[in-house]
A and B are shown apart, each in its own frame.
Chain A
Amino acid sequence: MTPKTIFEKIWDAHVVHSIKDGPDIIYIDRHYIHEVTSPQAFRGLEERGIPVFRPSLTLATADHNTPTKDQHLPIREELSGIQVEKLKENCSRHGIELFGLNHKYNGIVHVIGPELGYTRPGMTVVCGDSHTSTHGAFGTVAFGIGTSEVEMVLATQCILQSRPKTMSITVDGALGKAVTSKDIIMHIISLLTTGGATGYFVEYRGSAIRALSMESRMTICNMSIEMGARGGLIAPDETTFSYLRNTKYYLENNSFYNDLKAWKDLITDPGASFDKEITISAESIRPMISYGTNPGMALAVDKSLPETEGMNRQDADNYIKALSYMGFSPGMKLDGHPIDFIFLGSCTNGRIEDFRAFASLVKGRKKAENVTALLVPGSKLVEEQVKKEGLLAILHDAGFELRQPGCSSCLAMNEDKIPAGKYAVSTSNRNFEGRQGPGARTLLASPLTAAASAITGRITDPRIFL
């Protein structure tokens, strides 16, 4: 048999039909929906007068526009309230399981799916959200789709997709002090640029990736889309299996060992080839921070911003435009620059491990007075765990409060907006203009860098504290 990559194995097993000279019809094992990108899809079904084809394969949550305070009260923003209500209505009408606001399993779609065991190795996973690539950490083919495609999945459990090219990114070696998986992926994106993996599906490999926890792997796969990749995955292994064994899905069903047998084949065969291969040494990665207005514009936090000499005119124009939005200038050092906000949370870094890392650094220290901190757990289960492990007390002692779960300030659809001109060190995934609120200036970084910066009130290399 021809050696295959994991991506090819999963893709091939899900092709229902290949249209001649056209896309493949791909069967979807797991479909996640949320309040913002699903209402028009349900309306489409109603206009066609058709039901949801396989309601048991779709799971819903409310996360994008929900408030992170006083969730027991009615939602204050009228249109957000309507979307959340509409989701409830649509799910109940079509028999779709919903972990809505105030449900004990509510949270960000890419946090709850994995933590409950709804995402499992070998699956195809889609959601009307570009960070669906997160689920690739479990050895799945997972990618974001638009609302028309959400409607296709609801109507037929399939979508039409052209087969992407494949890329392997190998990270070998040991990570340095205070270097996290967020720094690995930000380093990779800074090398490839924001469009550098467009058209590719990535497999992350190598000893540095193998050594990561599931939470850290999710952070890496999550940001695959930030270099344009269709998705990114990691081969499942013992780390994956032991994580899954303790999820709600397997605690309630006894099929773990049956499933396990099938998962063992989910490896890239020796001799299988990728369209593009990249190798990076883990030792070369340092704590990262973004300085511009796309996630490719990032550098090690101890470095100075590049000068424009040597750049072509277009690159220099893009660079200067981004720096002028950010209020920076070429050659300056970011380390030590005053900040106004920090945001810990999102589908990138809103998991228990991220709260542990943040708490470990702020423990016994005090938040700087000039910093407003938004600490938003990725789910109710994460929130509960933060309390159970005693992290909440550590955070309180250091001057931080914990909010309720949701996407929050990552895209600022709810009230958690960063004011115009203010600087926010954010553990989220995008530093686009206005992403965290009109005029907001986002500095993407790891939970450790966010914690160090929260303590000093300035952009800070976390290594000074560790």
Chain B
Amino acid sequence: MAKEKLNILESTCVPLPLENIDTDQIIPARFLSSTSREGFGKNLFRDWRYDHDGRPLEDFILNNRKYNGKILVAGKNFGCGSSREHAVWAVYDYGFRVVISSFFADIFRNNALNNGLLPLIIPEDEVKSLIALVTGDPGTIVKINVQERRMEVPASGKSFTFEINPYKQECLIHGLDDIDYLINMRGKIIEYEKSRGGLG
């Protein structure tokens, strides 16, 4: 089914200068008992964002009104740990459309792309300077063009080309879905099953 399209995005960023942010921090397991995909944003980073009584923790970045936008910038190995897609749903539901880091955990990256969230990779040093820049000036704009695989930071004059699998690039730009693609491939799948003499 169609997802929201993502091609050109200009936005301010939220900096989160931590490494190895695992999916238990993104959305703790006790909030996984839902049977729908919606509504996880309110518990994004729950235990960093709120104290035990549900009061916002002031020094956490999402509780600082100066910082907002559709881009999250985080330290390396973002999304490690559990395969829970709820982590991506939470990031997306909160309002982010892009996460920038120097590398992502494999399952998180796949889950993100399957939900129209772009995991954008730039070198580690560049992530650090972007975090420093955005932290100092929350109004810093980042421009992203998926078609051209380009990311620009006008304030620093920097421009990067990022890698994305051409198939996934098309999916993002047009809001397409792997499941539709696979359903259309059923003929080939049945042929494959026959070629190996049956199921499993």
What is the interface of chain A, defined by CB distance below 8 A to chain B? 13, 16-17, 19, 21-23, 25, 27, 29-30, 36-37, 39-40, 43-44, 47-48, 50, 53-54, 56-57, 64-65, 77, 79-80, 82-83, 86, 123, 128-130, 132, 143-149, 151-152, 155-162, 164, 194-195, 198-199, 225, 228, 230, 294, 314, 318, 321, 411-413, 420, 430, 432-435, 438-439
Contacts and interface: CB of A to CB of B under 8 A. Distances in A.
A78 to B, nearest CB: 9
Nearest to B84: A37
Given A198-B77, A198-B103, A438-B47, A433 B179 contact: no
A149 B84 CA distance: 11
B126 interface: no
B103 A195 contact: yes
Contact of A43 (B36, B114, B165): B36
Contacts of A413: 29-30, 32-33
B131 to A, nearest CB: 11
A294 B33 contact: no
Interface in B99-131: 103-107, 110-111, 114-115
Nearest to A417: B30
A161 B25 CA distance: 26
A203 B103 CA distance: 23
B199 A56 contact: yes
B20 A194 contact: yes
A147 B75 CA distance: 25
Nearest to A65: B33
B24 A434 contact: yes
B189 A228 contact: no
A37 B87 CA distance: 12
Given A21-B165, A156-B186, A314-B19, A37 B28 contact: no
A5 to B, nearest CB: 19
B83 A160 contact: no
Contact of B199 (A17, A57, A65): A57
Contact of A149 (B76, B82, B103, B110): B110
Given A22-B165, A43-B36, A432 B30 contact: no
A47 B83 CA distance: 23
B155 interface: no
A77 B33 contact: yes
A29 B20 CA distance: 32
Among A16, A23, A159, find the residue whose CB has the most chain B CB atoms closer than 10 A.
Answer: A16
Contact of A82 (B20, B35, B115, B188): B35
Contacts of A16: 185, 188-189, 192
Among B114, B165, B183, B196, find the residue whose CB has the most chain A CB atoms closer than 10 A.
Answer: B114
Contacts of B81: 130, 225, 430, 432
Contacts of B103: 195, 198
A420 B192 CA distance: 52
A37 B83 contact: yes
